Amino acid sequence: MLLAIKFVDLFGWNTLNISYTMVSNHEQAITFLISDLKDDHSFFLTIIYGMIRPEERIPLWNHLLSLKSLVLLEPWALVGVGDFNTIRDPCTRLGNRDFDYNGIAEFNNCSIQLSVSIIRGVI
């Protein structure tokens, strides 16, 4: 009788090929260093869920800016699980929900300082 042992972790990755280490934990974001053990490639992954009120997201923007020096040597993916709870441009909003121009400006300023590109996702 053969037994197949599956080495899969919470991300669903094969742990024989992929490893990850949490490098930062924040109330609104968790950052991991993801390493491909087979091909010797690594990248940082930050999973974000922004607070609803703009003033509550300011610590998130400061936290992300503090990570910039840590992640300089590897590619960095910032992923909004749920969402960042803000938008970059009022033209991209859905529905009739009000938006806060200061919150938009803070998000855009953080994005510029981080030198990140925003890739719009579709669910």
- 3-state secondary structure labels for all residues of the chain: CCCCCCCECCCCCECCCEEEEEEEEECCEEEEEEEECCCCEEEEEEEECCCCCHHHHHHHHHHHHHHCCCCCCCCEEEEECCCCCCCCCHHHCCCCCCCCHHHHHHHHHHHHHHCCCCCCCCC
**What pLDDT is attached to residue 73?**
85
Res. 19 pLDDT band, cuts 50 70 90: confident
Considering only 28-32, 51-55, 60-64, 92-96, which range has the smallest mean pLDDT? 92-96
34-71 per-position pLDDT tens digit: 998 888 899 999 999 999 898 999 999 999 999 999 88
**What pLDDT is attached to residue 11?**
62
Res. 16 pLDDT band, cuts 50 70 90: confident
HSE-up of residue 59 (Cα within 13 Å, Cβ side): 10
pTM summary value: 0.78
